[in-house]
């Protein structure tokens, strides 16, 4: 019922020419693999090059962040209207690197989520606990609070497209992954909080991705379980062969 989604977060990597070359090579590798939706998240300066490179319909494009306002004096920011105008269908919201280095908070995540839904951009809201929080047995509390604040004041009738990504901060770029059982447990908890904040029906249809050191070798066991509906991939998405292999492995 929930179609898997595998997404590539390229972070601050790839020039426009490198990004376009990736799309050309990658498209050939996944053109016949339709079991999952695929979304590429290039840096803002490569969005036009990626959108402009011919590719299969199931490969969509999104922004790595956006402001919640349509326009204004906000140097360095990109608005939802700008993402839409360039051809984006998706947007990442609240990635832990935005939270850590750019003052993103649960409150700005909430503003961005409302704005994305109002503009028909499909949001992927990123949440996850730090290592010290996990070790202090605070994981459930942290995740529930992140989801609850993100969803404050959201009208359930507008939230059908919404996606979450569980990215434990200690697993990002470290080579360390959550075990499938740990990830499943976190995903169930997140789904429970979505049900409590919105409705059980929305919770049942919301895709929740896992992110944190997903690679071709662990994609089959981590990407698609009962409550895991795909993956958000950083480092291993930068190479077309490795990212295509993750797509193929996610078929199970």
Residues in touch with ligand 13P (CB under 6 A)? 9, 95, 167, 172-173, 211-214, 232-236
CB nearer to ligand 13P: pick between 68 and 210 = 210
Minimum distance of ligand 13P from residue 128's CB (angstroms): 9
CB-closest chain residue to ligand 13P: 234
Active-site residue list: 95, 167
Asked whether 219 and 250 are in contact (CB, 8 A), the reply is yes
CB nearer to ligand 13P: pick between 113 and 236 = 236
Bridge partner list, 37: 5
Minimum distance of ligand 13P from residue 180's CB (angstroms): 16
Closest CA to 189 of 242, 241, 146, 136: 146
CB nearer to ligand 13P: pick between 23 and 233 = 233
User: How many angstroms from the chain centroid is the CA of residue 244?
Assistant: 17
Closest CA to 208 of 237, 166, 249: 166
Residue 224 DSSP symbol: B
Determine phi and psi for 94, rounding to 5 degrees: 75, 30
CB nearer to ligand 13P: pick between 173 and 252 = 173
Minimum distance of ligand 13P from residue 242's CB (angstroms): 11
Minimum distance of ligand 13P from residue 116's CB (angstroms): 17
Alpha carbons 69 and 74: distance in angstroms, whole number: 9
3-state secondary structure of 127: strand
């Amino acid at each position: 019922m929930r179609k898997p989604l595998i997404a590539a977060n390229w972070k601050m990597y790839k020039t426009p020419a490198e990004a376009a070359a990736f799309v050309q090579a990658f498209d050939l590798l996944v053109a016949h693999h339709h079991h999952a939706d695929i979304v590429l998240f290039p840096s803002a300066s490569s969005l036009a090059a990626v959108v402009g490179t011919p590719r299969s319909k199931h490969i969509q494009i999104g922004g790595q962040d956006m402001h919640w306002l349509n326009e204004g004096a906000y140097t360095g920011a990109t608005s939802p209207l700008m993402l839409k105008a360039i051809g984006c269908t998706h947007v990442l919201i609240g990635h832990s690197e935005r939270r850590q280095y750019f003052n993103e908070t649960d409150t700005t995540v909430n503003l961005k989520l409302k704005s994305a839904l109002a503009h028909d951009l499909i949001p992927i809201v990123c949440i996850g606990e730090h290592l010290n929080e996990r070790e202090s047995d605070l994981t459930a509390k942290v995740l529930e609070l992140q989801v609850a604040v993100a969803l404050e004041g959201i009208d359930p009738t507008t939230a059908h497209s919404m996606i979450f990504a569980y990215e434990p901060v200690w697993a990002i770029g470290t080579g360390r992954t959550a075990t499938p059982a740990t990830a499943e447990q976190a995903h169930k908890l997140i789904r429970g909080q979505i049900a409590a904040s919105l409705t059980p029906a929305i919770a049942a249809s919301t895709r929740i991705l896992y992110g944190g050191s997903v690679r071709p070798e662990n994609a089959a066991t981590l990407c698609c379980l009962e409550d895991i509906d795909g993956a958000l991939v950083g480092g291993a998405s930068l190479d077309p062969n490795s990212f295509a292999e993750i797509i193929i492995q996610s078929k199970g």
